[in-house]
Homo-oligomer: A and B are copies of this chain.
Amino acid sequence: MTDPAKVRRVAVIGAGTIGASWAAWFLSRGLQVTVWDPAPEGEAFVRRFIANAWPAIQQLGAPCASQDAISFHATPEQAVAGVQFVQESAPERTDAKRALFAQLEAAMAPDTIVASSSSGLMMTDLAQDLRTPGRFAIGHPFNPPHLIPLVEVVGGQDTTPETIDACLAFYRHIGKHPIRLNKEAPGHLANRLQSALWREAVHAVAEGVASVADVDAAVAYGPGLRWALMGPHLTFHLAGGEGGMAHFIDHLGEANEAWWRSLGQPTLTPEVCRAIIDGVAEETKGAPVPALAAQRDALLVALLQIIGTRRPAQ
């Protein structure tokens, strides 16, 4: 696989929430999708997921799309037969993924590429039993993949540069925003960035600085609004005024280094967990998660429609 426009058929291996969401997005881009999942209710779950996701996907613009270009298969080998690209979203366990990859490898065409949705594992570990590790990479989406544009692409030590380039080109071709990571790390990059923010948010609650709701508001009514448009570097470049990042560093570099030295190092003790869980219950006034998630997704679609390609420096 080299030309992303030649990908016509994609396998979704493992079709829980992440795999089903990938399937919906692939279908919306006019691809044929083959699915394998060991759950007995797998097909019904995926079909229901896609039907639920379809209105949002159509609002985001779905060219030549049909929900019906999908087939369900009894084995992973059958699902990957004749596909050009495999998106693997099996459970996050090294042993299970290793065994699955060996099955896929034996059944795939020689130039088929496998991207793993693994949110935290490293391909060097996952590819240890493979004869052809060069064509296996991480392609980590953000939940839900049919709405969030980001995909993190990173290889293991034996992944070829061509595979990385092909993954980046394919994801870009189907309307995602892939990024290239040059080094493996547990949690890749975006989860580590999230975790760094959450750490200080946990610290603020643990130390009684503010309620969970007020800590959340400190992001969502403040810097979070800018982070939907720009990452942390560009945000501070603009904070530097006409002098940009150089002026920002001159002016506020030392202050940030002082804050870094004093950032919290909380532990998720039972007491801290209790404070966070109780605080979220108060914040949400007991609203069930599925209702909150539906509100979130409706707003995400509206945001993505507004932002489109109008981001600063896009």
Contacts and interface: CB of A to CB of B under 8 A. Distances in A.
A106 interface: no
B288 A233 contact: no
Interface in A179-213: 179-183, 185-187, 189-201, 204-205, 207-213
A97 to B, nearest CB: 16
A98 interface: no
Contacts of A298: 310
Nearest to A208: B182
Given A148-B222, A218-B193, A292 B253 contact: no
Interface string A238-252: 111111111001000
B289 A273 contact: no
A3 interface: no
A99 interface: no
A190 B219 contact: yes
Interface stretch (A72-80, A130-138, A263-271): A263-271
A277 to B, nearest CB: 5
B231 A215 contact: yes
Interface string A269-293: 0000100110110011101111011
Given A183-B207, A187-B259, A189-B210, A229 B233 contact: no
A190 to B, nearest CB: 4
Interface stretch (A6-14, A56-64, A156-164, A299-307): A299-307
A303 to B, nearest CB: 6
Nearest to A299: B229
A238 B182 contact: no
B216 A189 contact: no
Contacts of A49: none
Nearest to A254: B268
Interface residues of A, number: 112
Given A223-B194, A242-B290, A310 B299 contact: yes
Contact of A296 (B210, B230, B246, B262): B230
A59 to B, nearest CB: 13
Contact of A253 (B221, B263, B268): B268
A254 B175 CA distance: 34
19 contacts: A149-B221, A150-B217, A177-B221, A189-B214, A189-B218, A194-B235, A196-B197, A198-B233, A213-B313, A215-B233, A223-B227, A224-B228, A225-B228, A227-B227, A228-B303, A241-B289, A244-B280, A245-B277, A287-B312
Given A143-B239, A189-B209, A196-B263, 4 more contacts: A180-B214, A201-B231, A216-B230, A225-B228
3 cross-chain pairs, A with B, having the tightest CB-CB distances, nearest first: A216-B231, A224-B227, A150-B222
